[in-house]
Amino acid sequence: MGDTEDAELLKEADEKVLRVETEAADIEFRQMLSGETDPAGAILQINAGAGGTEACDWADLLLRMYRRWADAHGYKNEVVDFTEGDGAGFRSVLLTIDGAFAYGHLKAETGVHRLVRISPFDANKRRHTSFASVFVLPDIEEDINIVINDDDLRIDTFRSGGAGGQKVNKTDSAVRLTHFPSGIVVASQNQRSQHQNKATAMRILKAKLYDLEMDKKQKERDTIENEKREIAWGSQIRSYVFQPYQMVKDHRTGFESGNVQSVMDGNIDGFIRAFLLMK
């Protein structure tokens, strides 16, 4: 047998090993995403916490990170509601991500995210610490058997405001729903028609009511509620350090990355996988 044949056999063996390893990894990942609501799309809410303008800007950076992640996975994503911050970013922002297993992946992101950096808003270039919380719900409207009585619902319309750089259009047809029995308030302001905004808001309301009902049935807080701690010191699930060194570390799993820019560009699959494996 010649050297050429040896090389071809070795190449073929390597390809078979790689194929087997890939198939094994796919099976393992499917097992990690075997929860009842894992195949659903995701409704993701980001709230600025301690840190003022810094925190609002941090919420904006997280929004960009998740939209980049969604784009990379071919998921349609859309900002449907927001409250702008004073001077920068958002006090809160609501993002829908449509695609198979979006929730199964992003449930790993629920919790408080901490940022350490030299503030671009500080003339003295001091280092600041900011916080923002991320809450993720499964978008499973079609599978939710929840009846909402008209008498339990108030529907208000208002004019939305634009959010620079986030592709949120000004409209005259934003809708806010208030559900009296639960006290839940949701809004949608990104669609061009009142009908579309109402449908989106109703979808989010049903998801939140489903989450509330699951809490009652289980008689204990589920994963989402367990992560809703004070958005401040000592409660973070992940730290993003821009200065004096560069590091992103998940405090639940110990997984970390020294490539901060890559993470902020949406490369968070390593963090998600480590969390799912731990679970």
pLDDT of residue 161: 67
pLDDT bin (cut points 50, 70, 90) of residue 164 is: very low
Say how far apart CA 242 and CA 245 lie, in whole Å: 6
pLDDT of residue 153: 92
pLDDT of residue 167: 46
* Angstrom distances, CA of residue 182 to CA of 23, 95, 137, 206, 210: 45, 22, 17, 11, 11
pLDDT of residue 13: 78
pLDDT of residue 262: 96
Q: In this model, does residue 124 exceed pLDDT 90?
A: no
Say how far apart CA 23 and CA 61 lie, in whole Å: 35
- Residue-wise pLDDT for 234-250, tens only, equals 578 999 999 889 999 99
CATH of 150-218, one of 3.30.70.1560, 3.30.160.20, 3.40.80.10, 3.10.20.10: 3.30.160.20
48 and 89 Cβ atoms separated by less than 8 Å: yes
- Residue-wise pLDDT for 69-106, tens only, equals 999 999 999 999 999 998 889 999 999 999 999 999 99
- Per residue in 133-172, is it b (16+ CB within 10 Å) or e — as a string? bbbbbbbbbeeeeeeeeeeeeeeeeeebeebeebebeebe
Length of the chain in terms of residues written: 279
Domain residue spans of the chain:
41-142+225-278, 150-218
Q: In this model, does residue 177 exceed pLDDT 90?
A: yes
**Angle in degrees, CA 16, 17, 23, rounded to 5:** 90
Topology at the third CATH level for domain 41-142+225-278? Alpha-Beta Plaits (3.30.70)
Q: Which two tokens stand for residue 196?
A: 């579309």
Tell me which of 115-124, 141-150, 153-162, 244-253 is least confident.
141-150
Say how far apart CA 238 and CA 248 lie, in whole Å: 7
Nearest C-alpha neighbor of 65 from the set 33, 113, 29, 32: 113
Tell me which of 5-14, 186-195, 213-222, 236-245 is least confident.
213-222
Consecutive H or E run containing 53:
helix 53-72
